[in-house]
């Protein structure tokens, strides 16, 4: 119930993205102002009650009536949408990677906090160097990332409360005499796009097919001789 109420309030005033939220308020706010301020002609409302009751006729501005009627349609509509979404799978994505020393990989946890089965997808969207330029590797982006401990193109099926990890980057041991090794993004069926760059920033998008839910995370991977993998991966 708490999730339903949270989504209801959220959907009434926001959207799935900053752009959607802006567009929604760009329509709602002027419409409310026009309805309440400009259309101020009164509407006479007569109730079919016996004259002996002596009740006066009611009168409201047209704009307020229109806004009130629109709200009576819009708010329950958003409530129905929130109810449907709250009963389905709900995507949760961690904000910090896991350092897997045993397998020399950085991983990211994904969980289903809702009902029904969640089958998430994860993609490497973009990679940039320290100066903000696009990193030109050998893979075409966006590219699908691997789910750990599943043979590609394996995809986890998460019930409520279940979690899985998606690979972000494999780290290679340094060559003899070198201070650091290289890392390779965990792209499905691909081992290109390896790098010895000291500082890269990359974006990961996790989606939930069958829903309009998606989460985006931005991470930075930097060389750090004191780190367990000689690299450090953190939220950017």
Domain boundary among 52, 86, 120: 86
Same domain as 65, residue 96: no
Q: Rounded to whole angstroms, what are the CA distances from 139 to 144, 194, 200, 201, 225?
A: 11, 10, 15, 16, 27
Query: What's the pLDDT score for residue 92?
Result: 92
Q: Which of 54-58, 157-161, 208-212 has the lowest mean pLDDT?
A: 54-58
Same domain as 132, residue 81: no
The whole-number average pLDDT for the span 53-72 is: 62
**234 pLDDT band (50/70/90 cuts)?**
very high
Same domain as 134, residue 227: yes
The reported pTM is 0.62
* Overall domain count for the chain: 2
Query: What's the pLDDT score for residue 37?
Result: 57
Same domain as 71, residue 101: no
Q: Which of 85-89, 164-168, 175-179, 209-213 has the lowest mean pLDDT?
A: 175-179
Query: What's the pLDDT score for residue 178?
Result: 47
Q: 145 vs 90, which has greater pLDDT? A: 145
Domain boundary among 86, 101, 120: 86
Query: What's the pLDDT score for residue 2?
Result: 59
Query: What's the pLDDT score for residue 160?
Result: 86
d(CA 107, CA 149): 11
Query: What's the pLDDT score for residue 75?
Result: 72
Q: Is 11 exposed, middle or buried (0-12, 13-18, 19+ CB in 10 A)?
A: buried
Query: Angle formed by the axes of helices 18-33 and 62-86, to 10°?
Result: 160
84 C-beta neighbours (distance < 10 Å), count: 12
The whole-number average pLDDT for the span 124-151 is: 84
Same domain as 72, residue 188: no
Residue 202 scores a pLDDT above 90: yes
Query: What's the pLDDT score for residue 56?
Result: 59
Look up residue 227 and give its two tokens.
């780190």
């Amino acid at each position: 119930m708490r999730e339903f109420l949270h989504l209801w309030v959220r959907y009434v005033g926001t959207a799935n993205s900053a752009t959607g939220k802006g567009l929604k308020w760009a329509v709602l706010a002027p419409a409310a102002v026009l309805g309440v301020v400009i259309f101020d002609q009164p509407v006479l409302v007569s109730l079919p009650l016996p004259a002996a009751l002596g009740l006066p006729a009611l009168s409201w501005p047209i704009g307020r009536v229109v806004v009130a009627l629109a709200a009576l349609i819009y708010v329950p509509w958003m409530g129905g949408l929130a109810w449907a979404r709250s009963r389905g799978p709900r995507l949760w994505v961690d904000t910090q990677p896991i350092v897997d020393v045993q397998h020399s990989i950085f991983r990211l946890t994904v969980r289903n906090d809702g009902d029904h089965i969640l089958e998430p997808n994860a993609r490497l969207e973009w990679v940039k160097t320290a100066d903000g330029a696009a990193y030109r590797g050998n893979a075409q982006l966006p590219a699908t990332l691997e789910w750990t401990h599943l043979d590609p193109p394996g995809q986890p099926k998460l019930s409520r409360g279940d979690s899985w990890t998606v690979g972000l980057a494999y780290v290679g041991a340094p060559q003899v005499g070198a201070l650091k090794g290289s890392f390779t993004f965990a792209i499905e069926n691909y081992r290109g796009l390896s790098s010895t760059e000291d500082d890269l920033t990359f974006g990961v998008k996790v989606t939930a097919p069958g829903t309009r839910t998606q989460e985006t995370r931005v991470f930075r991977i930097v060389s750090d001789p004191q780190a367990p993998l000689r690299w450090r991966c953190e939220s950017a």
